[in-house]
Structure 1
Amino acid sequence: MIVTVTLNAAIDKTYHLPALAAGQVSRVDRVYAEPGGKGINVARVVALQGVPVLATGFAGGSNGDFIERGLTRQGIAHDFVKIEGESRICLNIMDQDGVSTELLEPGPTIAGQEMEAMREKLAQLAARAKVVAFSGSLPAGVPKSFYAELIGIAQKQGAVVFLDTSGEALIRGAEAKPYFIKPNEDEVAQWLGHSIEDENALKQGLLRLNETGLPCISVSMGAQGSLTAFHGACYRVRAPKVDAVNAVGSGDAYVAGMAVGTAQGLPVEECLRLATASGTANTLTARAGYVEPEDVKRLLDEVVVERIG
């Protein structure tokens, strides 16, 4: 089983409209509202590929109830820590040209006893999991070191740990040596203490981070694919070229594919192939954190994985 952890879960609302004009009334053509947050997106893509998954995190108020009901309707198992605060709403406004404007609420403030409940629940769930994937931002009230603490709990239970976050939460979380992380180029540069001028410099930087005890590090290069360092080897992955509908959630779909491959014990090349096919398939849907399994299977053969060092 794969467990996904979304500490700042949300209702993801997507508005589709002809154009967004400041200071004017805009008529929305269609609306999607569903459980969201990066870890929930990961869970949905895992489930759509027929792999057992359970979503956890913090959920509160009527928005939290909506999140849990939505996951149940989608057939995704869940076990959240109930909190006093109200879970957030995140808006994605898509115009007819495919331009996305996101408005993200900060979310609730988490109390000390709620964090303790999360520690206890994670220990129970991680003992049943092959992979535990932590995704997204930390809610207010939670220390930047909290991911590192939770990673240690999951590792103690024998789970392989993924971490997909940003900023100080990523830097601090990486101190616990998760198996997989997905930083951007700026964060890699911050770690290394110098700017990254080209792909070769990025490759050398990722290999240096491997040596610090981070086994698998992927950096997205958008439509160009990704660069991954894995136990001292580096892989360039080329994504298939498609007519993208909506790229929001593609990074989460990538993490989901990587988690599925890892849980199934696939070689790293096949994990990267599945991750890239999943991320690309997400761009073909109007909603974030969705794939059609047939798209993933079709795209697998179009992903190019090349070892470059």
Structure 2
Amino acid sequence: MILTVTPNPSLDRTYEIPDLERGEVLRATGERVDPGGKGVNVSRAVAAAGHRTVAVMPLGGAPGALVAELLAGERIEVAPVPVAGATRSNIALAEPDGTLTKINAPGPRLTAPESWSLLAAVAAHSPSASWIACCGSLPRGLTPSWYGELVAQAHESGARIALDTSGPSLLSALSGRPDVVKPNTDELAEAVGRPLATVGDAVKAAEELRSLGAGAVLASLGADGQLLVSPAGTWFGSAAVAAERIRSNVGAGDASLAGFLAAGGEGPDALAAAVAHGAAAVRLPGSVMPTPSDLEPAAVLVTADVPLDRALTEQGSPR
């Protein structure tokens, strides 16, 4: 079972539009309403792959009730922590060339008792979890040290923990030695405080995160692929996706993490699963998560011969 923790879940509305024109009335060609949040998407991808998952999250108001209802429809066990504030609603505008414009609401402010209840809910389900995936931004009311507390709690229970967050929340949790961290290029650049122009730059940045406490670093490099830097070695994985097949990159990184964890969470085979899941996700609308039939493993290339000098298409820069 893979346990996910989403401190700031959302109700996500994605509209497919021909073109984004400011100040104009836009007519959508497609619309989806999905439960959102990075950990939520990991659970959705795990469930779509046929594995058991439990999703822990704070939920409040009508949007929170709808999130729980939608997840139950996807055969996901929800462990809700009731909160006074309403769960946030986000909007995404997807253009045919894959460009995505997102409007993310801040979400409710959690009280100290609600924060403790969230930690308690994770502790209650940790004993049966093979992995705990803690993902996304922290809501108002939780300090950056909250993820560090969660990492320490997970290790006390004997569970392995994967962390997908950024900024102070990521850095403050590294001393707790999370088993895997999953930054994208910009988040990796932000963590080390310098631009990343090549794959080699990303490797060096990942090694720095490992020196600070991360067990392994699974880095999403956008269209260039993914990088795994771990105690067992360093591998680079890629899968070309034709531009005309790209529909939305919402949740692609979350699908990648789900594929990685479901495949064991270590080594080149898990990296190949991560790349296959991410490539499949961008070919689907909104934040639809791929099923096994959507995967194209033959199109994935994983190598230990990392192309260090390759320039990154989407170069990372500190925010």
Equivalent pair of 1:253/1:289 in contact (CA under 8 Å): no
Aligned 1:230-269 pairs, distance under 5 A: 230-231=230-231, 233-242=233-242, 243-262=245-264, 268-269=267-268
User: Which residue of structure 2 lines up, in the alignment, with residue 284 of structure 1?
Assistant: 283
Aligned 1:177-216 pairs, distance under 5 A: 177-192=177-192, 194-216=194-216
Deviation per residue, 1:45-75 (Å, 9 max, x gap): 1001011111111111111000001111111
Aligned 1:1-309 pairs, distance under 5 A: 1-192=1-192, 194-231=194-231, 233-242=233-242, 243-262=245-264, 268-296=267-295, 299-308=296-305
2: distance between equivalents of 1:30 and 1:97? 15
Equivalent pair of 1:148/1:172 in contact (CA under 8 Å): yes
2: distance between equivalents of 1:208 and 1:143? 24
Equivalent pair of 2:167/2:191 in contact (CA under 8 Å): no
Deviation per residue, 1:104-145 (Å, 9 max, x gap): 100000001101111111111111101000111100011111
1:205/1:166 CA distance change after superposition, 3 Å: closer
Deviation per residue, 1:253-283 (Å, 9 max, x gap): 01111110126xxx51110011110011101
2: distance between equivalents of 1:17 and 1:286? 12
Between the two structures, name the one with larger relative contact order (CA 8 Å, sep ≥ 6): 2
- Aligned-residue sequence identity (percent) comes to 31
1: distance between equivalents of 2:197 and 2:99? 29
RMSD: 1.9
TM-score of the two chains, using structure 1 as the length reference: 0.92
- Aligned residue type for 1:92: A
Equivalent pair of 1:12/1:35 in contact (CA under 8 Å): yes
1:235, distance to aligned residue in structure 2 (A): 0.9
1: distance between equivalents of 2:274 and 2:43? 14
- Aligned residue type for 2:302: V
Q: How many residues align?
A: 304
1: distance between equivalents of 2:291 and 2:193? 41
2: distance between equivalents of 1:189 and 1:287? 27
1: distance between equivalents of 2:185 and 2:34? 31
Equivalent pair of 2:10/2:88 in contact (CA under 8 Å): yes
2: distance between equivalents of 1:70 and 1:204? 41
1:197, distance to aligned residue in structure 2 (A): 4.8
2: distance between equivalents of 1:138 and 1:245? 28
Q: Point out where structure 2 has 5 or more consecutive residues left out of the alignment.
A: 307-319
Between 67-76 and 91-100, report the one with greater CA deviation. 91-100
Deviation per residue, 1:184-229 (Å, 9 max, x gap): 3454445445554533233233234334432210222212112221
1:95/1:149 CA distance change after superposition, 3 Å: same
* Corresponding residue SS for 2:128: coil
TM-score of the two chains, using structure 2 as the length reference: 0.89
